Amino acid sequence: MILGEADLALKSSFQRYASTPLRFAENWPLPLLAATLARCRYFIGHDTGVSHLAAAVGTPSLLLFGPTDPSIWAPPGPHVRVLKIGEQMATLTLEHVLAALPTS
């Protein structure tokens, strides 16, 4: 799991609800983060720079959008899938995300 400064307060919540131990990438330099993302089988993220970096290195990605317009802000590529339901991120449920993931 990749965390930036704005996400650090959520770290304990992620750990509390995870069924297995989580590993965190916290405030990594961009070259290290890009290299790590390039080795991932899949990336799930929201409208952030990290999502653009994952797409840029070719990682298959599911990008979650709320109030921003993915036709303007989503990175292009056949390996990028966008999920937007309504104008708020809170509209997206875990069930929506799971249903949008590839089955293989």
SS (H, E, C) the chain: CEECHHHHHHHHHHHHHCCCCCCCEECCCHHHHHHHHHCCCCEEEECCHHHHHHHHCCCCEEEEECCCCHHHHCCCCCCEEEEECCCCHHHCCHHHHHHHCCCC
- Are the C-beta atoms of 82 and 63 separated by less than 8 Å? yes
Q: What is the pTM of this model?
A: 0.85
Domain containing 49: what range?
Answer: 2-100
pLDDT, greater one: 72 or 13:
72
* CATH code (residue 68): 3.40.50.2000
Q: Residues 34-57: pLDDT tens digits?
A: 999 999 999 999 988 999 999 999
Work out how many domains the chain is built from and give that number: 1
Q: Across all residues in the chain, what is the average pLDDT?
A: 90
Q: Residues 51-77: pLDDT tens digits?
A: 999 999 999 999 999 999 999 999 999
| Gap between the Cα atoms of 68 and 75, Å rounded | 13
